[in-house]
C-alpha cells in the first residue's frame, strides 16, 4: 500500500518519479533544471509533470519549457537552465551535452 501511494501521484507518467529522483541525486543544490516533456499542452500533460517536478527536486529551481498555464512553447527558457531533464525523449539542444541516459529519459548539462 505504501509503495502504491508513493507512486500514485505520478502514475500518469510512468517512470517519471524514478527519473527525477535520479536527476535530483546527480545535480547540485541550487541547480536550474528545465523540464522537457513530450506534451505541447499545459493541461494535456505538461502541467502535470511540471507541478510534480518541483516537489521531487527540492532546493533546485525547475524551469518550464511552456509558458506557465498556457499551450505556448517557451524554448527560450532553456537559456535560464543549467540542466535539461527530458522524460521519454532525447532532443539535441545547442550548448548542452548528455550527462546520463536511462530507460526513463536523459539528463543534459550545459557546456557553454
Interface contacts to other proteins, rule CB under 8 A: 1-6, 8-9, 29, 47, 50-52, 54-55, 58-59, 61-64, 68-69
- Complex with other proteins: residue 34 or 108, whichever CB lies closer: 34
Q: Which helix (H) or strand (E) holds 48?
A: helix 47-56
Nearest to 27, CA basis, from 60, 69, 66: 60
**Longest CA pairwise span in the chain (Å):** 45
Residue number with CB closer to other proteins (3 or 112): 3
Nearest-approach distance from CB 82 to other proteins, in angstroms = 14
Q: How far is the CB of 10 from other proteins (least distance, A)?
A: 9
For other proteins, which is the closer residue by CB, 4 or 112?
4
Which are the contacts of 93, defined by CB distance < 8 A and separation ≥ 6? 78, 84, 108
Amino acid at each position: 500500500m505504501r509503495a502504491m501511494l508513493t507512486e500514485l501521484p505520478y502514475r500518469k507518467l510512468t517512470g517519471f518519479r524514478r527519473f527525477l529522483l535520479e536527476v535530483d541525486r546527480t545535480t547540485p543544490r541550487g541547480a536550474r533544471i528545465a523540464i522537457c516533456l513530450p506534451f505541447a499542452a499545459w493541461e494535456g500533460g505538461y502541467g502535470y509533470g511540471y507541478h510534480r517536478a518541483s516537489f521531487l527536486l527540492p532546493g533546485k529551481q525547475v524551469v518550464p519549457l511552456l509558458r506557465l498555464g498556457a499551450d505556448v512553447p517557451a524554448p527560450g527558457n532553456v537559456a535560464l537552465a543549467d540542466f535539461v531533464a527530458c522524460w521519454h525523449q532525447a532532443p539535441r539542444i545547442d550548448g548542452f551535452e548528455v550527462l546520463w541516459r536511462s530507460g526513463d529519459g536523459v539528463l543534459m548539462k550545459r557546456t557553454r
